[in-house]
Amino acid sequence: MLSFNRIYGKILKFIGLNLESFIVLGICSSTHAEQYKSTIISRPVPIKLHLRNRTINLQYTEHDKQDILGKGGVAHVFKFNRDKVIKVLTKEHISKSSINKIRDANKLVMRIQKKYPGLFVNISSVQNVVAEYSDGRRVKTIGIIMKKMNRTVKDEMKDLKLNSHITYTLLDDDSNSDIYIENKLKFLANVWLKYVQLLKVYSIEGYNHCDISPKNIMVGYDNNLYVSDTDTTQKNNLKCMVYSDGSTAPETYNGENATYLSDLFSVADSMYQLITDKQIMFDHFLAKRIDAKEIYNTAYLRLQAVILREFKKLDMAIENSALSKNWQWFLHYLKGFILASHQYEPALRQKKLAQLMDLPESAELVDIYKKIEDYLVQFPQYSSLDSEHEIDLHDIFTKAQCDRFLSDEVLTDDLVFDEAFLEEFENIDH
């Protein structure tokens, strides 16, 4: 018997209701926030940045890094002006080849941005930079200028209770707990749609992001969502580049060449990371307040509704049969992920599930299918899933239910399922 926390944690954040926000794709840094004030600098940081038309004098000490807004494996993020930041490659001994690859990846995204107006708006330019250090060294590198971000998606999830003026005391009130949960659902819907729009564009253009994770989804000061760190953007079927060691030799992404599925698995993994974060979900509160079966059923149905609507809205049935098949696999994967991934420890979630999807003959996958089948076979509309089966939610729900999911009357920002609709799920033993 699954515990409530595990069921709720692995499902709730896949869902979400407020899908009307127009999602904006961009390039931004690692988290820009006060949390980086205490970051220990493990490699030299420039004191000046010489750009084409200006010189930036960086002001910071070991205890007051006011101009250091973020730090990653190969770069630091500094203030550029009031509204923008500059991400400068500061990794020591990084090769010219690696710098050029990162430059090319960002320029590629700028070109895609022009082709899809409104999707990619967070990269202003890529410029040559001379970084000057305190010991007199001057190093040629590049800087990526972009919008200043407010926080990561993970930070936003943690603070939603504060944004809703909900405190631990108020959470004892049922009406406030409903507000708290609905706010999380609405925000997660935007995150989901963000991922889908990003990957649709990348898939059409034949590229992979290669570095999708919760820390790379940012919330701007305009409250739009931005996918960041597109430095790893790579052509489909080539190996995704990872520059953590500064070498020119590319590393593989999850041990595989870049494919549509590698990014798709990362999306599911990212949502999973958000779902299972105990600080975000406040399991101790939810466990005593909400009936597990009701949440499981409602959450599953809402997820199906969201996927149905968004796949229809975004026209995911692309004529390219290979691409279409990958999206079908993704929907298939999500079903298995929601229904069966509780059996794996967090450290194994992506590696194991990706492996299972790539190895359909594995005993573990058969077990997952069995778990899915045990659940779905209770519906007369269900037909057995296999690797050749074209995934369609009509296998699970009646035509009337699917049509109802897709109707404007039901699929509003305040998606609600009535008691009669949920009644057939009430006796399912999870």
pLDDT tens for 19-72 read 222 222 222 233 333 333 333 346 788 999 999 889 999 876 555 556 667 777
Which tokens sit at 113?
């941005």
pLDDT-based confidence at 132, cuts 50/70/90? very high
Instruction: Say whether pLDDT at 313 is over 60.
Output: no
CATH number of the domain at 58, please.
Answer: 3.30.200
Q: Cα angle at 195 between 356 and 192, to 5 degrees?
A: 90
Model confidence over 322-343: pLDDT tens digits? 434 444 444 444 444 443 333 3
Among 375, 381, 384, 387, smallest CA distance to 400 is for 381
Residue whose C-alpha is closest to residue 59's, from 71, 48, 67: 67
Query: Same domain for 139 and 166?
Result: no
Do 16 and 70 lie in a common domain?
no
The residue out of 148, 180, 211 marking a domain boundary is 148
pTM comes to 0.54
Mean pLDDT of the chain: 56
* Separation CA 327–CA 386 (nearest Å): 15
Q: Are residues 18 and 94 in the same domain?
A: no
Per-residue confidence at 365, pLDDT binned at 50, 70, 90?
A: very low
Same domain, 253 and 233: yes
Mean pLDDT throughout 276-305? 43
Distance, CA of 150 to CA of 178 (rounded, Å): 26
Based on the fold, state whether residues 255 and 379 are members of the same structural domain. yes
Please determine, for residue 95, whether its predicted confidence score (pLDDT) is greater than 80: yes
The whole-number pLDDT of residue 88 equals 92
Does residue 405 lie within any of the structural domains?
Answer: yes
Task: Count up the domains in the chain and report the number.
Answer: 2
Q: Is the pLDDT of residue 200 over 70?
A: no
d(CA 30, CA 75): 9
Range of the domain at 102: 34-148
Cβ neighbours, 10 Å, residue 307: 21
Among candidate residues 95, 115, 148, the one where a domain is terminated: 148
Do 382 and 319 belong together in one domain? yes
Does residue 80 sit within a domain? yes
Q: Show the tokens assigned to 57.
A: 């004098």
**φ and ψ at 146, to 5 degrees?**
-155, 175
Give yes or no: residues 163 and 137 share one domain: no
Residue 29 lies in a domain: no
Question: Cβ(27)–Cβ(146) under 8 Å?
Answer: yes
Query: Does 211 lie in the same domain as 160?
Result: yes
CB neighbours of residue 241 within 10 Å:
22
- Note whether residue 430 is domain-resident: no
Among 308, 209, 225, 344, residue whose Cα is nearest residue 266: 209
Do 13 and 82 belong together in one domain?
no
Structure tokens at 382: 């269900």
Strand-strand pairing, 138-147 and 84-89: antiparallel
Q: Which residue has the higher pLDDT, 104 or 354?
A: 104
Query: In this model, does residue 140 exceed pLDDT 50?
Result: yes
Are 246 and 199 members of one domain? Answer: yes
Q: What local confidence, expressed as pLDDT, does residue 231 receive?
A: 80
- Looking at mean pLDDT, say which of 151-155, 165-169, 302-306, 350-354 comes out highest: 151-155
Token reading at 8? 């709720």
Tokens 């564009």 sit at which residue? Answer: 201
Look at residue 130 in the predicted model and tell me its pLDDT: 94
* Percentage, residues of the chain above pLDDT 90: 7
- Model confidence at 137: pLDDT above 80: yes
Tell which of 100, 128, 148 closes a domain: 148
State whether 138 and 237 are in the same domain: no
72 in a structural domain: yes
Question: Do 114 and 214 fall into the same domain?
Answer: no
Q: What's the half-sphere exposure (Cβ side, CA atoms, 13 Å) at 388?
A: 0
